Amino acid sequence: MLDLSNFEGYRIKANVHSYRQGDLYIAHDVNSGSLHLLDERTFNVLKAFEDLQEVEEKITLAGINQIFGQVGKPALSEAELAEIFAEMEELRQAGTLFSEEAEKVTLNYPEKPIVKAICLHVAHDCNLRCEYCFAGTGAFGGSRTLMNLETGKKGIDFVLESSGHRNHCEVDFFGGEPLLNFGVVKALVEYGRKAGAALGKTIKFTLTTNGVLLNEEIQNYLEQEEISVVLSLDGRPEVHDRMRPYANGQGSYAKITPLIKQFATRRPESSSYAVGTYYYVRGTYTHFNLDFDRDVLHIADLGIKQISMEPVVAGPEDAYAFQAGDLDKIRAAYDRLGEELLIRRAQDRAFNFFHFNVALDQGPCLIKRLSGCGAGHEYVAISPEGDLYPCHQFVGQAAYKLGSLYDENPHQLKAELVKDFRSANVYAKSACRECWARFACSGGCHAANVAFTGKLTEVYTLGCELQKKRLEVALYLKIREIQTKTLV
């Protein structure tokens, strides 16, 4: 039988997330990563546990039945309660419910950062003028410029050397629009393959593009070189064109959509988890399209199977920024998207939505989940001039400059910044300590946290709410998927 004294000092709300999604009652055990389906009575008991912990130091049987009485639920019989407690205790003993958080880990890093991934800003220029661009429509607050070959090669040399004993490095061609500097991209791929091979290393290349220049020649090249590609499309024509126009104001949907569709058909086996050579079509939603589920479905209806749709990160002065009152509409859109995915799965026309990926027992280890994205010490962004920043979103912010490829020792990154980014893990953020989603988002995006709070260790709370909602739907879909497989 479950001993209620076991919960003294154990915060249920922070360690077991129980919620209703669709017609399922779900419990996610945060520390083990386990997932359970509950009947309604058991769900109510769990919620009563949570409520009691808010107001009482101890959970008691009398307290549970008092809560049941307050919300009009019939009191549990002693026998029923004993059954539920017995099942909970069995799972607790097995370590899949009410599990304890692993003892605090010291995240050890070598003194010299092992940088294994770089974001090469080969073009601080763009052929579009997207309203919400964090790159300031391509120029990152500076002048419009392209990276020269020498700087690009230095960037490749930097990651090959900084990656130490790691044999797999990653290089993303980013911008602005990287295809505006396609000649340099090609030369760098050739250079990187040779330089990597000479050291027994492999570089995985990706390219993030708006699709405007994605002609047949470039598509063939990307195929031949097995370069993964992230393509930007916001959804319905009117939504896309409003935010992603050319410099003359004309929308870009009509130009890019056939090209993106064409490219997607070349990679029918693309991994939803972005493993191997893949493509992803990625959009941004804003205050203007809170029904962004319709944009995701629009993209899916184009025949595109790998889709990501990101919430815009914007200051309150921007008209497209999310406003008070938007959150419920956004949550409803994720709910609708989840239900529509289920319908399409049953009709054998499913697609993948990146934020609903959740591998659970095959997901990243706890060390990775605690430490986060690696910006500023495992991953850096390089500007066209060769300046080094913690990630692409910090490029151009002088306070966050880590160094330069043209420094006497470019590997000597600014020590205090490296330390700050390494320290900004889940343990360092007070809001995360009480959050059930802490191991899914690793404390959120550093750039978004800084943009909204001015600090690496304080979280962007709207981002937290969106993350939690996506995870709720993702876990629900995972259960549905497993149930369907079991039935077959």
**Cβ closest to another protein, residue 27 vs residue 59:** 27
Question: CB of residue 418 vs another protein: minimum separation in angstroms?
Answer: 16
Helix or strand or coil: residue 145? strand
CA distance 438 to 21: 20
Pairing of strands 168-175, 379-382: unpaired
Q: How many CA atoms lie within 13 A of 29 on its CB side?
A: 22
Question: CB of residue 137 vs another protein: minimum separation in angstroms?
Answer: 16
**Cβ closest to another protein, residue 374 vs residue 403:** 374
Question: CB of residue 427 vs another protein: minimum separation in angstroms?
Answer: 13
Question: CB of residue 227 vs another protein: minimum separation in angstroms?
Answer: 12
- Residues 6 or more apart in contact with residue 260 via CB below 8 angstroms: 211, 214, 231, 233, 281, 302, 304
**Cβ closest to another protein, residue 28 vs residue 240:** 28
Helix or strand or coil: residue 460? coil
223, burial (CB in 10 Å: exposed 0-12, middle 13-18, buried 19+) = middle
Asked if residues 311 and 330 have their Cβ atoms less than 8 Å apart, the reply is yes
Asked if residues 50 and 64 have their Cβ atoms less than 8 Å apart, the reply is no
CA distance 278 to 124: 25
Question: CB of residue 204 vs another protein: minimum separation in angstroms?
Answer: 8
CA distance 173 to 348: 34
CA distance 188 to 25: 52
**Cβ closest to another protein, residue 77 vs residue 347:** 77
- Residues 6 or more apart in contact with residue 4 via CB below 8 angstroms: 58, 59, 60, 61
Question: CB of residue 255 vs another protein: minimum separation in angstroms?
Answer: 22
**Cβ closest to another protein, residue 9 vs residue 249:** 9
Q: How many CA atoms lie within 13 A of 15 on its CB side?
A: 18
**Cβ closest to another protein, residue 248 vs residue 362:** 362
Question: CB of residue 91 vs another protein: minimum separation in angstroms?
Answer: 6
Q: Using omega within 30 degrees of 0 as the cis cutoff, is the peptide bond preceding 176 cis?
A: yes
**Cβ closest to another protein, residue 257 vs residue 284:** 284
Question: CB of residue 135 vs another protein: minimum separation in angstroms?
Answer: 10
**Cβ closest to another protein, residue 82 vs residue 254:** 82
Question: CB of residue 250 vs another protein: minimum separation in angstroms?
Answer: 25
Strand partners, 118: 171, 380
**Cβ closest to another protein, residue 124 vs residue 478:** 478
Strand partners, 209: 231
Asked if residues 305 and 351 have their Cβ atoms less than 8 Å apart, the reply is yes
Asked if residues 416 and 430 have their Cβ atoms less than 8 Å apart, the reply is no
Helix or strand or coil: residue 40? helix
**Cβ closest to another protein, residue 366 vs residue 431:** 366
Question: CB of residue 248 vs another protein: minimum separation in angstroms?
Answer: 26
**Cβ closest to another protein, residue 19 vs residue 148:** 19
CA distance 155 to 149: 10
Question: CB of residue 94 vs another protein: minimum separation in angstroms?
Answer: 8
Q: How many CA atoms lie within 13 A of 287 on its CB side?
A: 16
Place of tokens 């080094």: 388
